[in-house]
Amino acid sequence: MDVGKPAGEDAETALGGGRCAYQGAPGAFSHEACMALRPWDEAVAYDSFEAALAALKSGEVGCALIPVENSAIGRVEPAATLVEAADLNIVSEVWRPIRLALMAPAGASLRTVRTAESHPIALRQCPASLAALGLTPVEAFDTAGAARAVAEAGDVTRAAVAPVGAAEVYDLSILRNDIQDSENNRTRFVLLSPRTA
Which residue in 141, 143, 187, 196 is the catalytic one? 187
Give the chain's end-to-end CA distance (angstroms, integer).
29
* Active site annotation includes 29: no
Query: How far, in Å, CA of 139 to CA of 152, rounded?
Result: 17
- Residue 53 makes CB contacts below 8 A (sequence gap 6+) with 21, 64, 66, 82, 83, 86, 88, 192
Task: Give bridge partners of residue 160 from the DSSP assignment.
Answer: 103, 117
176: number of Cβ within 10 Å:
16
* Active site annotation includes 189: yes
Alpha helices per DSSP H over the chain: 29-37, 49-58, 79-85, 120-123, 127-132, 143-153, 164-170
CB 18 within 8 A of CB 94: no
- Could you tell me the maximum CA-CA distance found in the chain, to the nearest angstrom? 58
Which residue in 13, 81, 189, 196 is the catalytic one? 189
User: What would the 3-class secondary structure string for 65-120 be?
Assistant: EEEEEECCCEECCCHHHHHHHCCCEEEEEEEEECCCEEEECCCCCCCCCCEEEECH
Which positions are annotated as active-site residues?
187, 189
